[in-house]
């Protein structure tokens, strides 16, 4: 197990390094210079700007410097904002995004498998149809449309739910829900099919014939086994939530990291784009690592040293 952990850790580090490298060289391959939008400037000013961002040095040297800085946790200065560094913006935006993301994940994890399990237990009855209609809606309707619908039909009619912005917990309600819909739907569908499969297994019949109460059979034998595939998609779910947050933050006008990211793209703020991308990648890789660990503890059948062959 230790061997697996080390291997997995090494892979994560390689991934992060790959992201840093790709991001760095892609950003430096952008044609034109990043200050073009500022208009004509005296050569001295231009030279000083180049110097400030280290752009006067050879590319390879810049790369080494950047890598070193990122290792120290320093993403450098923003190219557009004169008051905040990239780190400041991440510090300001990330807690906001993380809160929305965590709430959405919680909603999805609680309601997704529950709906799926209900659907399987009442196959072809009302709960089944209800959950599956909800699941199909969740999968078909992208989060940006879901968000717009929520604003239009809920926020505009219910006085205590704000249309957008940030502040109280009420502001987080609709964005979290809109963000949660798609993962919730995926989990519900997955849970339903795996639950149906588990319910047909012999050990369920054995448990039932031993006279164990229905709720114990369902909770201890069925759900516990059926939830494994759901746990295995947690990693993908988290990365989908991350991308979904860009869109959701744009619609609801939430000052999170996602909105910084999208703004940095339209502003062509290269250091901010690099910084947020790499930060996202690190967070994501760390979360994926955690999910893998969790899966290992939940499912003792997985022999992690094997290559799967």
The footprint of another protein (CB under 8 A) covers 11-12, 14-15, 18-19, 22-23, 26-27, 29-30, 32, 36-37, 136, 139-142, 144-145, 148, 152, 239, 242-243, 246-247, 250-251, 262, 265-266, 268, 273, 277, 280-281, 284-285, 288, 307-309
- How far apart are CB 185 and another protein at their closest, in Å? 10
- How far apart are CB 137 and another protein at their closest, in Å? 8
Q: Which is nearer to another protein, 19 or 231 (CB)?
A: 19
Spatial separation of the C-alpha atoms in residues 243 and 179, rounded to whole Å: 10
- How far apart are CB 199 and another protein at their closest, in Å? 14
Neighbours of 78 (CB within 10 A): 22
Angle at 82 between CA 26 and CA 55, to 5 degrees: 35
- How far apart are CB 308 and another protein at their closest, in Å? 7
Spatial separation of the C-alpha atoms in residues 96 and 65, rounded to whole Å: 30
Q: Please, where are the H alpha helices in the chain?
A: 2-28, 43-52, 59-71, 86-121, 126-140, 143-150, 170-199, 202-209, 214-216, 224-226, 228-232, 234-252, 257-267, 270-298
Q: Which is nearer to another protein, 35 or 51 (CB)?
A: 35
Residues 6+ away with beta carbon under 8 Å from 67: 20, 24
Spatial separation of the C-alpha atoms in residues 273 and 26, rounded to whole Å: 11
Spatial separation of the C-alpha atoms in residues 214 and 105, rounded to whole Å: 29
Q: Which is nearer to another protein, 171 or 186 (CB)?
A: 186
Q: Which is nearer to another protein, 209 or 306 (CB)?
A: 306
Q: Which is nearer to another protein, 55 or 141 (CB)?
A: 141
Q: How far apart are the first and last CA of the chain?
A: 18
- How far apart are CB 215 and another protein at their closest, in Å? 28
- How far apart are CB 14 and another protein at their closest, in Å? 6
Residues 6+ away with beta carbon under 8 Å from 163: 151, 155, 156, 252
Q: Which is nearer to another protein, 16 or 231 (CB)?
A: 16
Q: Which is nearer to another protein, 177 or 185 (CB)?
A: 185
Measure the CA dihedral 237/119/191/98, to 10°. 30
- How far apart are CB 65 and another protein at their closest, in Å? 20
- How far apart are CB 24 and another protein at their closest, in Å? 11
């Amino acid at each position: 197990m230790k061997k697996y952990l080390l291997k997995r850790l090494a892979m994560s580090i390689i991934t992060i390094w790959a992201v840093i490298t790709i991001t760095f060289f892609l950003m430096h391959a952008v044609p034109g210079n990043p200050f073009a939008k500022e208009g004509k400037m005296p050569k001295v000013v231009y030279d000083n700007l180049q110097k400030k961002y280290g752009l006067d040095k050879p590319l390879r040297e810049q790369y080494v410097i950047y890598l070193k800085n990122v290792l120290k946790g320093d993403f450098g200065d923003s190219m557009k904002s004169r008051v905040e560094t990239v780190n400041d913006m991440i510090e300001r935006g990330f807690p906001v995004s993380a809160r929305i993301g965590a709430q959405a994940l919680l909603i999805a994890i609680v309601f997704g498998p529950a709906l799926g399990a209900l659907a399987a237990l009442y196959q072809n009855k009302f709960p089944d149809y209800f959950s599956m209609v909800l699941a199909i809606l969740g999968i078909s309707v992208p989060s940006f449309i879901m968000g717009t619908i929520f604003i239009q039909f809920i926020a505009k009619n219910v006085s205590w739910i704000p249309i957008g912005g940030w502040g109280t917990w009420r502001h987080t309600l609709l964005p979290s829900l809109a963000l949660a819909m798609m993962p919730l739907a995926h989990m519900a569908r997955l849970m339903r099919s795996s639950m149906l499969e588990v319910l047909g297994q012999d050990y369920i019949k054995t448990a039932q014939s031993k006279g164990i109460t229905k709720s114990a059979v369902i909770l201890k034998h069925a759900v516990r086994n059926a939830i494994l595939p759901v746990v295995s998609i947690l990693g993908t779910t988290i990365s989908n939530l991350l991308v979904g947050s860009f869109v959701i933050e744009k619609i609801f006008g939430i000052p999170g990291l996602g909105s910084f990211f999208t703004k940095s793209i339209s502003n062509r703020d290269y250091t901010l784009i690099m910084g947020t991308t790499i930060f996202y990648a690190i967070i994501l890789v760390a979360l994926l690592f955690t999910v893998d660990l969790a899966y290992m503890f939940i499912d003792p059948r997985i022999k992690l040293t094997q290559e799967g062959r």
